[in-house]
Amino acid sequence: MRSRVHSSIDDIDPREWNALGGTQCPFLRHEFLAALEHTGCVGAGTGWEPCPITLSDDRGLAAAAPAYIKTHSYGEFVFDFAWAQAYSRHGRRYYPKLLLAIPFTPATGPRLLVRAGLDRGAVAKHLLDAIETEAVSRRLSSVHALFLDESARMACARAGWLLRRDCQFHWSNRGYSSFDAYLETFTADKRKKARRERRRVAEAGIRFETRFGGDLDERLLDTVYGFHRETFLRHGNEPYLTREFFSEIAQTLADSLMVKVAMHGSMQHRASADTPVAAAIFFWSQEALYGRYWGSAADYHSLHFETCYHQGIEFCIERSVQRFEPGTQGEHKVSRGFEPTLTWSSHYIADGSFREAIGDYLEREGGAIDDYAAEVREHVPYRKAPA
């Protein structure tokens, strides 16, 4: 097989890329990665230099990995700032490094894409060999594969890469027939609190509309993006994604983009029900719903929980979506039915002494993560904790 490093996802035929099997995850689709490049989210001046790595055979594209040369560690959600500082203290250069990941997206999924019909394990090894060769030829300090599915995690482990785990909070659909049926699995106290949260939002005169990409005109996109941007600005940052990104993705991945729009008013008073007051931005497939961004124009009691969590869970139940990944952090998600779930990354460290030191650190960190997840699991709201 022939390996190649590209300077843009646009160098690769979209049909061949999407045929590699990543289409169940919207973030791995060619359209998503291309929109990041087209609208300036990644590329020159961003610290994210696209360099997708591919393998080809006589039939065309055989395997690929979404890859970026990074000159910083922002927008990754797997934190290695301390590693960079350690390199600096020893007079070594940590950046640039190579990243196998979806920019700004802490969602688990494939990172080593292999065409159906090939020996997945053998081809993944060949792809990782090509990635290591690229890192060595560029004299990069390291390679980091983030938010790995089980197949990629095992391939990286077999290749001798270091494994790192963290904890997110995910929701699992266990075949609930309705949201009320789902709440029946809660303890009485937790069920009462969840119903009270939802009731407070409804009593404030707020209802929700579900809009997919094709239902989002530019005016509504302006409003939704404005909510999202305001949330970032309150924390002192501009959003990672540009306004133009959402215009493009609403057209090219219309069915995968979903927005829950909170409208102030009620169905009985439609004249007062046409003002959006909050929105949550999701991406989804039949396999998973991914909560990404949210924002609001006013402070309504429990609106954040309803918009970002309850509405998402209800969407999954209605459409038989298997799981809901609402993003990073947030122990407040646990009382609403999200359970501690381990996420994985893998790391190739070129320098042997640093690799040993980082490996020791990851072993200690991993034990602490396991203890944390076990402790949090004691607080899930279910009458009997799911297996």
CA atoms 100, 79, 283, 195: torsion sign: positive
Predicted local confidence at residue 386, as pLDDT: 56
Residue 337 clears pLDDT 80, i.e. is over it? yes
**Across residues 352-358, what is the average pLDDT?**
96
- Containing 295, the helix (H) or strand (E) segment is strand 288-296
Nearest-angstrom CA–CA distance, 244 and 253: 14
Nearest-angstrom CA–CA distance, 220 and 215: 9
Lowest mean pLDDT among 224-228, 242-246, 295-299: 295-299
Q: What is the CA radius of gyration of the chain?
A: 22
Predicted local confidence at residue 226, as pLDDT: 97
CA distances from 307 to 55, 172, 215, 292, 314 (A): 42, 18, 18, 12, 11
Residue 247 clears pLDDT 80, i.e. is over it? yes
**Unique residue bearing structure tokens 């927005």:** 259
Predicted local confidence at residue 24, as pLDDT: 80
Residue 274: which pLDDT band, with cuts at 50, 70 and 90?
Answer: confident
Nearest-angstrom CA–CA distance, 157 and 346: 8
| Domains with residue ranges and CATH for the chain | 2-167+341-377 (3.40.630.30), 174-321 (3.40.630.30)
Residue 146 clears pLDDT 70, i.e. is over it? yes
Nearest-angstrom CA–CA distance, 232 and 294: 9
Nearest-angstrom CA–CA distance, 372 and 169: 12
Predicted local confidence at residue 271, as pLDDT: 46
User: For residue 106, what are its two tokens?
Assistant: 């802490």
Closest CA to 134 of 46, 126, 9: 126
Residue 130 clears pLDDT 60, i.e. is over it? yes
User: What's this model's pTM, rounded to 2 decimal places?
Assistant: 0.94
Question: pLDDT tens, 162-192?
Answer: 999 999 999 999 999 999 999 999 999 999 9
Question: pLDDT tens, 292-321?
Answer: 999 999 889 999 999 999 999 999 999 999
Query: Across the chain, what does the average pLDDT equal?
Result: 95
